[in-house]
Structure 1
Amino acid sequence: MRAGDGSGQRGHTTPRHVWVNVTGSAAYRYAGVLIDWRVDGRGSWEALVVWVDGGGNLKAHAHMGWVAAAHVRPTDDQVD
């Protein structure tokens, strides 16, 4: 994996704001922070993310875990 800082170095990514959706429903996306990437035992990419669901009328819950890359999307405010 290559670092995301444009240096071309091998290494980890810089934490960045992402949308996380582990529900399968387009109506549910949660603000999160992408921490790192890895390839699982089947050769699929996974992202280590922290995200919070709830808030407003619902109690907020923080989560951290490895999720399939398909569940993570960049936010509109990202610059590469």
Structure 2
Amino acid sequence: MGALSTADRLRIATLLKDRPLNVRDLCFITGLPQNLVSYDLRVMKEGGIVHSEKKGRETVYSVTDRDTLGTMIHAARSLLDREDVT
């Protein structure tokens, strides 16, 4: 669950669940700096949440398993919400 332990990673995972995106697109959509998006993607990739694919000069990220990710996002959001309350 560590790969989805921040609100930013949950947001990125939710976006990637809909369609593959590159770092530039994720930065534009989320408003997050490139270094943070790249770091979050690396953590999620190491956790098996996303995978990358080279397409020309850019690297495109997508989720490894959409159905499982939906369940994981729901569980992670519940845990983050619980932490905000306490």
* TM-score of the aligned structures, taking structure 2 as reference length: 0.22
More strand by share: 1
Q: Which structure has the greater CA radius of gyration?
A: 1
More helix by share: 2
Which structure's relative contact order is higher, taking Cα pairs within 8 Å and 6+ residues apart?
Answer: 2
